[in-house]
Amino acid sequence: MHHVTFYPIGNADTTLIQLKDSTVNILFDFADERCASDAEDKRCDLPKELDKSVSADTFDVVCFTHLDRDHINGSSLYFFLDHSGSYQQGERKKIKELWVPASVITESRNDCGPDARAIQADARYRLRQGYGIRVFSKPKKLKDWCAKQNISFEGISHLIVDAGKLIPSITLASHGAEFFVHSCRLQISRTGNW
């Protein structure tokens, strides 16, 4: 049976989808907004709660819907990020497949914080290396960005999922659920009980 857990933690809700009796773990956003020094703060300790739900050292999928602080806060402290040894110490959770909209790759945001810079750097690294990422939509900006970076757009096109398409790594046949990209947002189809 599939299981969905919502973590009410502030402005955004982190969501954990566990498919096939928790054998596949998919996380949407990560925003650890709790102030540990404030005894009155009722928000959950997100890393602790996720560690209770996901005993494995790897998430099958982590999707960052966008890089606003309230969707990524604390992510660079929690996740093992492939692009730099600075994000690989301790008991960090690994990410098998990172899902991001194309804007995470193409945007040049000088005003973003350390979590946004780390997630963007990891997404760009994975795209350059050609593994462990799905990028939603393929706007002209993404092609232009690839050209400026001397990356063959055709060489990474298998990592891009256009609007109106299913994400190929999670299927109804294998996982009992599928994810449909609707513009740069996702919709979930499922079979059986949740």
Residue % of the chain over a pLDDT of 70: 89
Phi, psi of 67 (to 5 degrees): -100, 20
**Cβ–Cβ contacts within 10 Å for residue 109, how many?**
12
Spatial separation of the C-alpha atoms in residues 134 and 63, rounded to whole Å: 9
Residue 192 has pLDDT above 60, yes or no: no
Scanning the structure block, which residue is given the tokens 């790759």?
105
Give mean pLDDT, residues 184-190: 48
The model's pLDDT over 47-62, given as tens digits with 9 standing for 90+, comes to: 999 999 999 999 999 9
The model's pLDDT over 117-176, given as tens digits with 9 standing for 90+, comes to: 999 999 999 999 999 999 998 778 899 999 999 999 999 999 999 888 999 999 888 888
Q: Position 160: which residue type? A: I
